[in-house]
Amino acid sequence: MSNFTFRPAVKLTTYRKRGNRHEHRVVAEAMLGRKLLPGEIVHHVDGNRHNNVGNNLRVMSQGAHMREHGLGIPGIAPAHKPWLNRPKGEELSFAKLSRDVILDIRKRIADGELQKTVGALYGIKQSYVSQIVHRKRWGHV
């Protein structure tokens, strides 16, 4: 009996490639008879990124593509925004800080303590304290 395990050649979460280019872009360029311009996006009408049949592809601008998916438009439910459902802060299993600690860090910095001093107090680097203060990290708190 063999110990062979089947592994697909292409991950199902990625776009197919022709050579070193995405297949949907190659097909769209063949349909247009020209190279795609900078800023042009190839949209899959049925949402299936593996369906690269000509009538399923539509070339559009980046802005039109975002509007198509409801991204960046207030009041429109997005078709797909996976980053909204991702766990944050304490919900992460590897989180070392808590909401209360983040609020204390911001208060201490606002009261004039040095970032390096506050970082040493909580066992984090000064650069991470800076990211917390500027809401590049823990921005949801």
Q: How far apart are CA 83 and CA 80, in angstroms?
A: 9
Q: Do residue 52 and residue 107 come from a single domain? A: no
Q: Do residue 106 and residue 78 come from a single domain? A: no
Tokens of 126: 């000064």
pLDDT at 113: 95
Q: Do residue 78 and residue 23 come from a single domain? A: yes
Q: How far apart are CA 1 and CA 135, in angstroms?
A: 57
Is residue 60 in a domain? yes
Q: Do residue 50 and residue 96 come from a single domain? A: no
Q: Do residue 96 and residue 75 come from a single domain? A: no
Q: Do residue 77 and residue 21 come from a single domain? A: yes
pLDDT at 88: 81
Question: Are 48 and 54 in contact, with CB atoms under 8 Å apart?
Answer: no
pLDDT at 72: 60
pLDDT at 76: 57
Q: Which domain holds residue 26?
A: 17-83
Is residue 139 in a domain? no
Instruction: State the Cα angle at 128 between 122 and 131, rounded to 5°.
Output: 130
Is residue 124 in a domain? yes
Is residue 59 in a domain? yes
Enumerate the β-bridge partners of residue 58: 43
pLDDT at 95: 85
pLDDT at 106: 96
Give the count of domains, the chain: 2
Is residue 55 in a domain? yes
pLDDT at 125: 94
Residue 53 is which amino acid? V
Q: How far apart are CA 128 and CA 106, in angstroms?
A: 12
Per-residue confidence in pLDDT tens, the chain, 141 aa: 556 555 555 445 567 777 788 888 989 899 999 999 988 989 888 777 788 888 889 999 888 887 777 666 666 565 555 556 677 888 887 888 999 999 999 999 999 999 999 999 999 999 999 999 999 989 888
Is residue 140 in a domain? no
Is residue 38 in a domain? yes
Is residue 121 in a domain? yes
